[in-house]
Structure 1
Amino acid sequence: MKTKQKRAERAKLIADARALTDAVKEGETMSAEKNAEFDKLMKKADELKAEIDRLELLDSAEIDLGETVQRRAGRENISTDEAKARIEDENKACNAYLRNGMGGVPEELLPLARKQFKAAQSGELGGAGGYLVPPSFDTRVIEAQLAYGPMLMPGLCFGFDTATGNPMNFVTDNDTSNEGTIIGENATVGQQDVTFGQVTIDGYTFSSKMVLVPNSLLQDSAVDLEGYLAKKFGERIGRAKNRYYTLGDGAKKPTGIVTASTQGKIAASATVIAPDEVIELEHSVDPAYRANARYMFHDDVLLHLRKKKDGQGRYLWQEGLKAGAPDTINNKPYVINQHMATHATGEKAMLYGDFQSYYIRRIGGVRVLRLVERFADSDQTAFLAFERGDGNLIDAGTHPVKHLVMA
């Protein structure tokens, strides 16, 4: 009910903003005052959209929590009560380590803590010590990453986990120009070779940098230390991942989606994106990829496009009115990515295509390192989080993601 009311409020704000642009006569431009009013209304609409998304994410998280317990029970052939108890013990052991180090872990939980501590030192994970956090803490870090890393949004790219960090090779082939034929009786079948390529996905280490926590906070049991650290680690690593998965140049780092994309359209202007250019970018992508395609751009580009109409006078931007329905540009969903450039001279301002062709690898889990002595003179303990991963576009020459570049 709460989301339904907020959707109605948002629809009213958008209708009021549209009324301002509809009132502008052909050949005229909107006044600065009306522009400011439009931006104010749309800002409120965006804030409501963020609230709606958070409420829906919370509902989804509660469902996922129940499913996690059930999956654990099925995997280990135990009851759901036993699975819940094991998860609670893992969380207690992790919390004790974070607050007091291994020496502060209760004796009955030491086997669990030692197991996680040993796992973090595994060469296969590229470990250099620390503590491999339990799944529940790991999930909280991932959830925090999602808020700051749109490339990590569930269902956008093809994400997968591996236990070890060895390089993985993905074979590609482009056979789109070849087709079968009809042969005559007793005729010899012709030969057509397929050209294969290869894309390698490696493992790079992302760091949260040091998070300093006052020792008085560690001693306060009322403070949700795990929640605080998970949020900090997730925000920092999420931003780093998103930057490299967007803009990375592939030189001892991930190859970002913008870097790997192919030119689809050059805008006529250095600062203005015309509605027809948006449509032409869409049609530069092979129809095979358009069924699951979407746009990606900076928020400034969205603001620019919101006032645009197509040749029939319809707005390119449309709000999603139903629960779970996304807002769209030219009837296609879009993703806001603040690491992309805006619509300025020579910049790749828009992407369009099937982002499932971009592979994101996550290796192992989050490792946490606790540094006690380094900041002892300031009565603080430092925490560091590490996570390994890589990303690249699997493109066999069919170019599943293309960009619009400004003149």
Structure 2
Amino acid sequence: MSIQALRERRNGMAIEARKLLDDTKDKAWSTENQTQYDSLTGQINDLDARVDREQKLIDLAAEERHQNRDPVGGKRQTEDLLADIGIFDTWMRRGDRGFNAEQAQKFHNTMSTTTGAEGGFSVPAEVSSRLIASLKAFGGMRAVAELLTTANGVALSFPSSDGTTEVGEILAENAQATGSDPTFGTVGLNVFKYSSKIITVPIELLQDSTIDIEAFVRARIIERIGRITNQHFTTGTGSGQPFGIVTRSAAGKVGTTGQTTSVIFDDLVDLLESVDDAYQAGNCRFMFPQSVRKVMRKLKDTAGRPIWTPGYEAGITAGAPDLLLGKSVVINNDMPAPAANAKSIVYGDLSKYIIRDAMAVNLMRFDDSVYASKGQVGFLAFMRSGGNLVDTAAVKHYQHSAT
């Protein structure tokens, strides 16, 4: 069965499950309803896993078929871009010794000023933007946070203000208005230097012109930097690393005694209602790891009805996401797993977390004797990034009970 057929079958079951919930909204939730719902959601889970496996195979095949870009013969408006990529490809394969005079000049104009002696290279904007965009696939934080790009990495303080307690007044005729200045604060939004660690590539791959070296190295950079930054944007301590959204979020609900690894319906409602209604009209959503999703899919309200509504796709861009208590869900496996005192769920306007990327991505190439003796070339990427929750009233967390 094709991946498209699998997706269509999965969507049909998700729509059927949602219709079942809608059609029984004013009726008692029966055993037959539950059996049908469990069967549908179980098949949806199986199809999700099959689709993921098929998509990985398609992605791998696409990478293998992708040929190196040729900087010659492109349309005039793309010639500069293609030339940049061509220089980048040449540098990755042969180092700066492979340049002609014009390429060498352009290379040194874009070379990192801080790592020139070691052969640092500022990654072309086209490659850098695709690299950063691809980081959204890791963990979930970049998919929901507000992204901010700055031209330098100097310390930055972001203004913050919580106006949820501020109210106006009624004035008598000719009466003096009361002063009520809003309280402003600042939140640090500094960047930290992230490294991909050294990526070793066999010389044979560099010599094979059919291999897209840029894509090969970029995939490794994305995996390594994507994982470490998402961890820090989620649970970072703020000491030598960014503050994570879990760390900075306010307490919304502590689980009822006995809920060390589980969640009850009433506690989940309390978490949702702990966020001020001023934020609820915005883009509030839940975030938790896959281990919590398993719990949520089995959770029922006081009438015995499931509170998890499977999502489905409709066309290329439209569709309905998975819903929990009517709110969309983001899966982030860097969130703490359910355990005593663990903060495994956050809820609120997650866009109040701001991720800051500074300057360009820099890449270094190593072909000295340490690598040459093994028939390898080393690549090392640096990226400056940071993040912080600028409005702690906008996001609340659920904490499991201690016992």
Give me the identity figure in percent. 32
> What's the secondary structure of 2:173's corresponding residue?
coil
Partners of 2:80 and 2:380 lie apart in 1 by 26
Aligned to 2:152: 164
Partners of 1:93 and 1:205 lie apart in 2 by 26
> What's the secondary structure of 2:176's corresponding residue?
coil
Change (3 A) 1:54 1:81: farther
For residues 353-374 of structure 1, give each alpha carbon's deviation from its aligned partner in whole angstroms, at most 9, with x where no partner exists. 1011001000112110001113
Q: Is the 8 A contact 2:41 2:310 kept in 1?
A: no
Range with bigger deviation, 257-266 or 175-184: 175-184
Change (3 A) 1:379 1:53: closer
- Offset of residue 227 of structure 1: 0.5
> What's the secondary structure of 1:375's corresponding residue?
helix
Q: Is the 8 A contact 1:370 1:384 kept in 2?
A: yes
Is 2:345 aligned against 1:353?
no
Q: Which one of 366, 370, 380 corresponds to residue 384 of structure 1?
A: 380
Partners of 1:339 and 1:375 lie apart in 2 by 34
Aligned to 1:256: 244
Q: Which one of 273, 277, 280 corresponds to residue 287 of structure 1?
A: 277
Q: Which one of 311, 317, 320 corresponds to residue 320 of structure 1?
A: 311
- Offset of residue 307 of structure 1: 1.6
Give the letter aligned to residue 137 of structure 1: V
- Offset of residue 38 of structure 1: 8.7
- TM-score, structure 2 length as denominator? 0.82
Change (3 A) 1:25 1:38: closer
Q: Which one of 198, 208, 229 corresponds to residue 241 of structure 1?
A: 229
Aligned to 2:399: 405
Is 2:202 aligned against 1:211?
no
Aligned to 1:76: none
Range with bigger deviation, 97-106 or 247-256: 97-106
Q: Is the 8 A contact 2:189 2:356 kept in 1?
A: yes
Q: Which has the higher contact order (CA 8 A, sep 6+)?
A: 2
Give the letter aligned to residue 176 of structure 2: T
Aligned to 1:179: 167
Aligned to 1:8: 8
Q: Which one of 47, 50, 64 corresponds to residue 49 of structure 2?
A: 47
Partners of 2:243 and 2:160 lie apart in 1 by 17
Range with bigger deviation, 213-222 or 144-153: 144-153
Partners of 2:188 and 2:351 lie apart in 1 by 17
Unaligned runs of 5+ in 1: 58-79
Matches within 5 A, 1:6-405: 6-11=6-11, 41-47=43-49, 50=52, 81-117=75-111, 120-121=112-113, 130-153=120-143, 156-268=144-256, 269-290=259-280, 291-323=282-314, 324-325=318-319, 326-373=321-368, 374-395=370-391, 399-405=393-399
Unaligned runs of 5+ in 2: 21-28, 60-73
For residues 27-57 of structure 1, give each alpha carbon's deviation from its aligned partner in whole angstroms, at most 9, with x where no partner exists. xx99xxxx9x9996354232356489999x9
Q: Is the 8 A contact 1:140 1:227 kept in 2?
A: no
- Offset of residue 301 of structure 1: 0.5
- Offset of residue 284 of structure 1: 0.7
Change (3 A) 1:262 1:162: same
- Offset of residue 97 of structure 1: 0.6
For residues 245-278 of structure 1, give each alpha carbon's deviation from its aligned partner in whole angstroms, at most 9, with x where no partner exists. 0011101210000000111011221122112222
> What's the secondary structure of 2:88's corresponding residue?
helix
- TM-score, structure 1 length as denominator? 0.81
Q: Is the 8 A contact 1:293 1:355 kept in 2?
A: yes
- Offset of residue 229 of structure 1: 0.3
Partners of 1:391 and 1:23 lie apart in 2 by 47
- Offset of residue 288 of structure 1: 1.7
Change (3 A) 1:207 1:389: same
Matched positions, count: 367
- Offset of residue 92 of structure 1: 0.3
> What's the secondary structure of 2:103's corresponding residue?
helix
For residues 99-148 of structure 1, give each alpha carbon's deviation from its aligned partner in whole angstroms, at most 9, with x where no partner exists. 1111112334333322221xx2269xx99861111122213322442222
- Offset of residue 159 of structure 1: 0.4
Change (3 A) 1:144 1:183: closer
For residues 45-78 of structure 1, give each alpha carbon's deviation from its aligned partner in whole angstroms, at most 9, with x where no partner exists. 32356489999x9xxxxxxxxxxxxxxxxxxxxx
> What's the secondary structure of 2:211's corresponding residue?
coil
For residues 195-217 of structure 1, give each alpha carbon's deviation from its aligned partner in whole angstroms, at most 9, with x where no partner exists. 32110111101100010111121
- Offset of residue 312 of structure 1: 3.6
Give the letter aligned to residue 394 of structure 1: V
Partners of 1:176 and 1:11 lie apart in 2 by 40
Give the letter aligned to residue 189 of structure 1: A
Change (3 A) 1:330 1:53: farther
Partners of 2:120 and 2:9 lie apart in 1 by 48
Partners of 1:82 and 1:313 lie apart in 2 by 64
CA RMSD, aligned part only?
3.3
Partners of 1:50 and 1:314 lie apart in 2 by 29
Give the letter aligned to residue 404 of structure 1: Y
Q: Is the 8 A contact 2:13 2:40 kept in 1?
A: no
